[in-house]
Chain A
C-alpha cells in the first residue's frame, strides 16, 4: 500500500534523527582558535617589547587555563592546586640549568616529573570529592611551595636566579613568546582531539554523573587520574618556559612559581570562557589577563579589588561562560525561517533571559 507523501517525509526525518549525526562545531572552534593564535603570533613583528612581554604572559595563561580545562572543565573536578605542576616545571628546569645541563633536557624532564607527581598525587586525592578535593589540591600546592622555601631548594629560601641565555634580548623574548604560542597550539589540538575521543566522552560522563558513568562500565577513577596527569603536562612545560624566561623568581608569594593566585586565575579564565569547551580557556585567558595587565599598569589602586569584582560578576551572571552565551545567541529554532534582524532580536532576548535566570 502506497503511503502518502507527508508520512514518507516524517520517516526520512526519523531516519536522519536516528543516524549518528556528528556536530560540526569542533571545526569552527578549532579554526577560530588557530586564527586567534595566528593573529597573536604577529605581535613580535611590531617590535614593541612591552607589548610583547604582556602578550607572552597572556599566552602563558592560555596554556595554563587550557591545562586546567582537562581536569576542571572536562572531568568537572575543581582542582585548585594546578600551580603545583607549574612550580614543579619551573624548579625542574632551574635545577637542570643550575647544574649546567642543556635547557631542552629540563623542558623534557619537566612534564615527565610533573606527570609522575600528578599520578602519585591523584591516586589518594582523586578519591576525595567536591570541597575536599578542591582544598586538598590547594593545600598541597601551598605546602609544596613552603617545603621548597624552607628546605632551600635551588637557592636560599628557594629563590632562583639563573644566568640568561647568551642571545640578544629581542630574539630571546620572541623565542619564549613563540614557545608559549606553540605550546598553546598543541594544547588546542589536544583539546580538540579530546572532545572527539572515547577518553573525552568518558570524562564528560564523569562530570555529568559519576555514578551513572561508573554503572556504564567506565573506570571513572583511572579516567580521572588520566585527566589529572594530562592537565599537568602543558602546565609543567609552561612552568619550564616561565623559569628560563623570567630568570629569577621566588617559590611563594606574588609572582612566585607556587603562587596560589595562578591556580585561581586558571579556574576563573576557564570559567569565564566556558569550561569544557575548546575555545573557552583561550578566550577567558585573553580577556582576564589583558584586563589584569592593563589595570596593573594604568590603575594600580583598583587592580587588586578589580579582580575580585570581576570574579563575583562572572560567577553570578556568567557561570556557564561566554561560549555558552554565544551558543544561546546563535541557536536558531529548527525549521522556522526568520529574517536576520528578527533572529538577532530573539537571540538577544534569549541571552538576557539566560543571564538573569539565576537565583533561588
Chain B
C-alpha cells in the first residue's frame, strides 16, 4: 500500500508536467493542442539525442529539449496556427491533429517505432521509506514538475511578458490597443507550451521507455488531466495529474476491473468529473 501511494504521487507529478503546457495553450488561446503528445515524444528524442550524442547530463538535456521545443512551438504558432486563430475551434482542432500526424509519422520514419530510454549509471538508484522504494530519478522528476508549475504561475503573474500573454488571452483586441503584439504573444504562449511538453518528454525519457506510437495516448492523457484539474490555473494541471494517476494506480485494484483498461478508466473518471464539476477540480473562469 505504501508503495502504491509513492507510485501514485510520483506518477501524478509527472502527469502534471504533461498537462501543464496543454493547459496553458487551451486556457489562453482556446486551442486544444492535439500535437501535445507528439511534442512530448519529440522532446524525449531531443533529450535522448543530447545524452547519447552530445553526452550531456540528462538534467541538462531537459533544458536542451525545452529550448529546441520552444523554437519549434513558436514557429508552428507564428506560421500556421495564427492564420486560423479566428476560425471556429474545429479548424484549429483539425490543424493540430494534422501536425500530430506529421510529427509522429516523421519521427516513426526517422527513428522507427522501437522503444528507447535514457539509461544512466544512477537510473536504478533509490532509497526505502516505510517499506516503499523511492527511485531517485522519479523523485527528481516529480520535484522538477512541481517547480515548473510554480515557475509558470510566477512567470504569468509577476513578469511583464507573462502579463502581456494573459492580457491577450483575456481580450485580444483590447490588448492590441494597449500596444501588445498579438501574433508574437500567441507565438510565445504556444512556444512555452511546447517547451513544457519538451521538458515532460525529457523526463519521460529519463524514467520510462518511449516510442512515437505513444503520442496519441499522451495527448489523450493531457486532455483528461487538464479537464480533471480545471483550466483556471497552472496548479489545475497538478491537481488533475494527481487525480488521474490516482485512478490509474488504484483503479485496477477494484475487483473485476483488472489491467489493460487504463483509457477506459480515464474516461469514466473524466465523464464523472464533467458531470459533477463541469469546470474541473480547481477550475476558474479565467487563466491566471
Contact = CB atoms under 8 A, between A and B. Distances in A.
B94 A146 contact: no
Given A140-B267, A146-B260, A359 B83 contact: yes
Contacts, number: 121
Nearest to A136: B271
Interface string B205-218: 00000000000100
A315 B92 CA distance: 8
A319 B83 CA distance: 11
A142 B172 CA distance: 36
8 contacts: A139-B266, A150-B261, A301-B109, A304-B101, A308-B101, A311-B97, A311-B101, A360-B186
Interface stretch (A100-108, A126-134, A327-335): A126-134
A143 B85 CA distance: 31
B220 A142 contact: yes
Interface of B: 26, 32, 80, 82-87, 89-95, 97-103, 105-106, 108-109, 172, 182-183, 186, 216, 220, 223-224, 227, 258, 260-261, 263-264, 266-268, 270-271, 274-275
A315 B84 contact: yes
A146 B90 contact: no
Q: Interface SS of chain A: helix, strand, loop or mixed?
A: helix
Nearest to A139: B267
B270 A139 contact: yes
A146 B100 contact: no
B94 A305 contact: no
Given A132-B227, A360-B86, A312 B261 contact: no
A142 B98 CA distance: 19
A134 B100 contact: no
A131 B260 CA distance: 26
Contacts of B105: 304-305, 307-308
Contact of A142 (B32, B258, B263): B263
A55 interface: no
B282 to A, nearest CB: 17
A304 B263 contact: no
Nearest to B86: A360
A268 interface: yes
Contacts of B82: 359-360
Contacts of B172: 360
A134 B31 CA distance: 13
Contact of A316 (B83, B86, B186): B83
Nearest to A77: B90
Given A308-B101, A311-B95, 19 more contacts: A72-B90, A78-B89, A132-B227, A135-B220, A135-B223, A136-B267, A136-B271, A143-B263, A146-B260, A267-B94, A271-B90, A305-B101, A305-B102, A310-B98, A311-B97, A315-B92, A359-B83, A360-B83, A360-B186
Contact of A131 (B26, B100, B270): B26
Contacts of B86: 358-360
Interface string A290-301: 000000000001
B274 A128 contact: yes
A331 B26 CA distance: 38
B118 to A, nearest CB: 26
Nearest to B90: A78
Contacts of B100: 308
A124 interface: yes
Given A147-B261, A319-B91, A360-B183, A308 B109 contact: no
B101 A319 contact: no
